[in-house]
Amino acid sequence: MIYLDNAATSFPKPEAVYLALDRFARQSLANPGRAGHKMALAAEHALDDGRHRLNRFFNGKWPERFVFTLNGTDALNMAFKGVLKRGDHVITTNLEHNSVSRPLVAMEKAGLITLTRVLADAGGTVDPAAFRQAITPNTKLIAVTHGSNVLGTVQPIAEIGRVAKEADLVFLVDAAQTAGVIPIDIQALNIDLLAVPGHKSLLGPTGTGFLYVAPRIQLGPWREGGTGGDSSTPTQPAEFPYFLEGGTPNVLGIAGLSAGLQYVETEGLAKIHQHEVDLTERLWKRLDEIGGIEVFGHRDMTRRVGTLSFRCEALAAPEIGGILDQAFDIAIRPGLHCAPYIHKAVGSYPDGLVRVSPGPFNTSADIDRIADALKEILT
């Protein structure tokens, strides 16, 4: 299988991740914070180590403000439903994944919030000035994807963060497509809430993620339950991260996430990003040669991640995806990519687009193979 669906989840993982998972599962897989024996302490250390690594990598304020979650969706729900109150106004974009859109639309339909969507331009980029113009007296939150999972375009979150700071608004960034390939400095970018899955470009296992919560942000508890360290209080302990981490965490997955993050740090973001966009540009050039294919998003590779979406009038995206899988053993993602608003905006709804997303372990030969397959299918 040639795997080119890294925007959904990265594969393969670095060998160090597999080794870390196996070693931890065999030696240290106890319940963290629930007992004083060696295995429980080792499990707690894995959590602490993960938080310290994340705090250093993303330049957070304190390690304990990194709350481990099930995935990016869990982190986003925790943020929205913890920070928003009745009557609040939210500004977001039409680039968003359903992990952002659905919770917000559900709250809007329930009459709890009002919602404004800033529209991306033809190249797939939002204008920071449009956020300033959309602010009302009731605006509480700006929620933006850092990188489009459909178009691959990286958004100007530094400028949007300045708009949020000037207006004293909460600024939330969904970094599902960028964390691990694009530098993210939480403090420099004025990010209050950062939601990240661990299984994409951080190269960890599925079932992992985190929400960073800036010290100035007050959230309601997402779930209540055991925390291990404080069993006496009748309600969830106010101390972070336990305030938002009720129940036994996925400590095995977090051990794997730490190993993935260490790999990314060792390789370097610039190297990984350049490799992925070089492969993207290579494919784009091959598609140009085939002809009859429309690629979406701007072509400035310095403002993209390694995700390329296209369509061909000769064959619908789901059919192309099925043929690549069954006849050529190539994995890509056709369809709407859980982001229907941007597909409607670019005119690819309801069939969607073919999305190809190389990762750090793909090669030029992989790109040539899919290009040859597409040429065979479409010409």
CATH number at residue 252: 3.40.640.10
- For residues 138 and 60, the answer to whether their CB atoms sit within 8 Å is no
Residue 229 clears pLDDT 90, i.e. is over it: no
Query: Do 288 and 371 belong to one domain?
Result: yes
pLDDT digits (tens, 9 = 90+) for 19-54: 999 999 999 999 887 667 889 889 999 999 999 999
Spatial contact of 198 and 208, defined as CB atoms under 8 Å apart? yes
For residue 227, is pLDDT > 90?
no
**Distance separating alpha carbons of residues 14 and 52, to the nearest angstrom:** 21
362 and 256 inside one domain: no
- Indicate which residues carry an active-site annotation: 338
223 in any annotated domain:
yes
Assign residue 343 the CATH number of its domain.
3.90.1150.10
Domain identity same for 243 and 272 = no
Residues 6+ away with beta carbon under 8 Å from 22 = none
Residues 341 and 251 in one domain: no
- Which pLDDT value is given to residue 238? 85
Q: pLDDT, tens digit, for every residue of 44-85?
A: 999 999 999 999 999 999 999 999 999 999 999 999 999 999
The answer to whether the CB of 342 falls within 8 A of the CB of 310 is no
Last residue within a domain, chosen from 226, 248, 266: 266
Burial (CB count <10 Å: 0-12, 13-18, 19+), residue 286: middle
Would you state the pLDDT for residue 235? 84
What is the spatial distance between Cα 255 and Cα 204, in angstroms, rounded to a whole number?
A: 9
Q: Do residues 251 and 51 touch, judged by C-beta distance below 8 A? A: no
DSSP annotation of 229: S
Domain check: are 260 and 283 in the same one?
A: no
Which DSSP letter does residue 315 get? B
Q: Are residues 40 and 114 in the same domain?
A: yes
d(CA 252, CA 203): 14
What domain count does the chain have? 2
Phi, psi of 213 (to 5 degrees): -120, 115
3-state secondary structure (DSSP) of residue 360: coil
pTM, two decimals, is 0.96
Whether residue 165 sits in one domain with residue 146: yes
pLDDT in the model for residue 201:
98
pLDDT of residue 228: 67
Greatest alpha-carbon span in the chain? 69
Residue 275 CB partners (closer than 8 Å, separation 6+): 306, 360
Domain end call among 266, 297, 328: 266
- Write down the pLDDT at residue 351: 95
Domain shared by 252 and 273, yes or no: no
Q: pLDDT by residue (tens digit) across 289-338?
A: 999 999 999 999 999 999 999 999 999 999 999 999 999 999 999 999 99
What pLDDT is stored for residue 305 in this prediction? 98
Residue 207's domain spans which residues? Answer: 15-266
Two structure tokens written together for 260: 């993935």
- Write down the pLDDT at residue 247: 87
